[in-house]
Structure 1
C-alpha cells in the first residue's frame, strides 16, 4: 500500500471500541474491534485504549501509511478543549486526560471528542448532511443523543454536554429516565423505551425492531405503541427545530433502520407542529456505525492541520 496521510481513530462504547485507520476523505483503510474490558474497572479501560491507540499507529506504519494524528471519541461529558473525558456513567471514569496520555504514548497530535457529536461531524461533512452548513444529527438507539453542526464543526457547549435532546422533558407524568427526571424523550422513544412500553402494554419481551415490524404488519398493540412513539418523537424533534432551525436533520441509530415506518409519520408529525418555522430536510444517516470513527479521524486531522498552520 502506498504512503498517505492517515488518522488513527477510536470510537469507545460501553463494552467495545471500534477502531480504524482513516484517510482524509473518510475512507476507512483498516478496521478493528476490541473489548473495553469494562469489567476490570475504569483504569483498565483507559490503559486498554492507550494500548490500542499505540498499536494502531504501529499498524499504520507497517502498512506504509503516514499516521499524522489520533482521534478518540467517548460517551458522557467531554471537555474537548482540554482533552479530558470528564465523566461516563457507562464506563465509570472521571477526569481522564486522554489527549495527554495518548499523545505521550504515540508522539502524535491527539484530539478528543464526544462520540455522537463526532458522528454528527462525519455525517455533516461526508454523509447524509453533506452540502449543508447547518445540520442536526440525532442518534436514536438504546438512548437518544444529538449533535448540531455549523460550518462543518460541532458545538461543544460551555460544559461539555450540549444538544441533550434525549433529556428534553416531553411528558411531566412520564416514566423515570436514567438522568433522574421523569418523562424525558429518551425514556419514552428510545429503542429501549419502545421495547419496555410494548411489554407494559401486554406484549412479549422483544426488541424495538420487532415491535416496529409487528406494527407494520398490523398488530394492534404494536401499532399503538409505535404510533405513540413517533408522535412523542415528533414533539421532541420540533423542540429542536424551534431552538436550532437546522437545514437538514440526519437521523441515525438503530431505530432509523425502520425506514419509511419512521420517517413518513415523523415528517408528518413535525410538519403539523412546526407552525411558522421552515421544515428541515429529514434524512437517514449514511455512514452507519463507522460514523464515530470517521468523525474521530476528522477531528484529529483538523487539530493536526491547525497545529501545523
Structure 2
C-alpha cells in the first residue's frame, strides 16, 4: 500500500503516523522528544523515530514510504529545509530535511512549521475545508497563526507569516517573550489567562482551565480575567481580519476546549468591533492534536505531486 511518513515534533513529545494517499492515518505512534538530554539527542531521536516508521511501513504494507513530511516548532525555512531556530529544542540552522532524507535512504522530505502544518490540515480536511480563505489561530502556551488561501498556507517572505500572537494589542503592557510590550500572546494565551487567574484566586497551581470552570460557575473575578483576555483576542482578530479578510477564523489550542465559554463572548466581541469589515465565521478547530500529524502527511503527498509535475 502506498504511504508516507508523517511526523509532528513538539517540545516534549512527538506524534507520528503512516498516512495513505487520502490522508487516512494507517498507523500511529508517539515518542518523547527527550529534550532534557540535549539538542544532539533530540535530533537523533527524531531521525531514529523516522527510521522506525519506515521499518513499520515495510513490515505492515510490504513497501517503503514514498516520502516524509515533518512539522517542527520554531522558525523554519521550508524552501531550504533548514530548521533555523527552536528555543524549545535548542537547535539553530539545523539541516533537518537533509538529515532525514539521508537516514531514510534518500526519500524526499518536506519540512514545515508546526502551526502552519496544522493549519494546512484544518484548512483542507478540518474546520476550514469549505473556506477558500481562512486564519487558523491556536491558543495555547503561546498564540500563533496560519494564513490559508486556496488550500495552501502562506509562509511569508521569511517564513514568519501569520504571527498574530505578536500583534501589540495593549501598548505598554506586559512584556512578551519576543521583547515587545503588550503582545496578544502576553495577555490572551492560555498561559497568560492561567497566570492572571492564579494571581487573582491565590492558587499558584491554577491555570486557564480552572479559570474557565470558575467563569462557568459565575465567579465574578474569573469573569473579569476571562473577559479581559477575550477583549484582547477580539482586538487582535479584528486587526487580522482587516488585513486578510478571511472567510473563516479557526480557533484551536487549549483555550478552544472551553467551548461556548470562549466562543460566545468572542464572537460578540468581534462583532462589536467590525465596521466596514466582513464578519467572518469563528469556529473551533476540528482535528485536535492530530492536526500536525495529518498536515505533515499532506506536506509529503504535496511534495510528491510537485515532483511528478516538475
Among 82, 85, 88, which residue is 1:87 paired with?
85
Which runs of structure 1 show a deviation greater than 2 angstroms over 4 or more consecutive aligned residues? 199-203
Give the whole-Å Cα distance in 1 for the aligned partners of 2:17 and 2:56. Answer: 10
Give the whole-Å Cα distance in 2 for the aligned partners of 1:200 and 1:209. Answer: 14
Determine helix, strand or coil for the equivalent of 1:63: helix
Alignment correspondent of 1:221: 221
Does residue 47 in structure 1 map to residue 39 in structure 2? no
Map Cα deviations across residues 170-228 of structure 1 (whole Å, 9 max, x no partner): 11121111111111100101111001111232432312011011011101111110111
Deviation at 1:93, TM superposition (A): 0.2
Q: TM-score with structure 2 length normalisation? A: 0.96
Q: 1:65 to 1:169 in 2, by over 3 A?
A: farther
Does residue 31 in structure 1 map to residue 28 in structure 2? yes
Does residue 172 in structure 1 map to residue 188 in structure 2? no
Give the whole-Å Cα distance in 1 for the aligned partners of 2:62 and 2:156. Answer: 35
Among 55, 59, 63, which residue is 1:62 paired with?
59
Give the whole-Å Cα distance in 2 for the aligned partners of 1:202 and 1:215. Answer: 12
Determine helix, strand or coil for the equivalent of 1:251: strand
Give the whole-Å Cα distance in 1 for the aligned partners of 2:155 and 2:232. Answer: 27
Alignment correspondent of 1:120: 119
8 Å contact from structure 1 (residues 170, 232) kept in 2: yes
Structure 2 unpaired stretches of 5+: none
Determine helix, strand or coil for the equivalent of 2:66: strand
Alignment correspondent of 2:259: 259
Give the whole-Å Cα distance in 1 for the aligned partners of 2:199 and 2:210. Answer: 15
Alignment correspondent of 1:271: 271
Alignment correspondent of 2:69: 71
Alignment correspondent of 1:160: 159
**Structure 1 residues 226-305: aligned runs within 5 Å:** 226-305=226-305
Give the whole-Å Cα distance in 1 for the aligned partners of 2:239 and 2:113. Answer: 22
Give the whole-Å Cα distance in 2 for the aligned partners of 1:7 and 1:184. Answer: 38
8 Å contact from structure 1 (residues 6, 65) kept in 2: no
Give the whole-Å Cα distance in 1 for the aligned partners of 2:20 and 2:258. Answer: 31
Determine helix, strand or coil for the equivalent of 2:55: helix
Give the whole-Å Cα distance in 1 for the aligned partners of 2:203 and 2:220. Answer: 14
Give the whole-Å Cα distance in 2 for the aligned partners of 1:260 and 1:88. Answer: 34
Give the whole-Å Cα distance in 2 for the aligned partners of 1:221 and 1:262. Answer: 16
Does residue 110 in structure 1 map to residue 109 in structure 2? yes
Deviation at 1:34, TM superposition (A): 0.9
Alignment correspondent of 2:12: 15
Give the whole-Å Cα distance in 2 for the aligned partners of 1:175 and 1:110. Answer: 40
Map Cα deviations across residues 30-86 of structure 1 (whole Å, 9 max, x no partner): 111111111121121111111111110110111116421101111111000000100
Deviation at 1:263, TM superposition (A): 0.8
Determine helix, strand or coil for the equivalent of 1:71: strand
- Residue correspondences, number: 306
Structure 1 unpaired stretches of 5+: none
Give the whole-Å Cα distance in 1 for the aligned partners of 2:62 and 2:126. Answer: 24
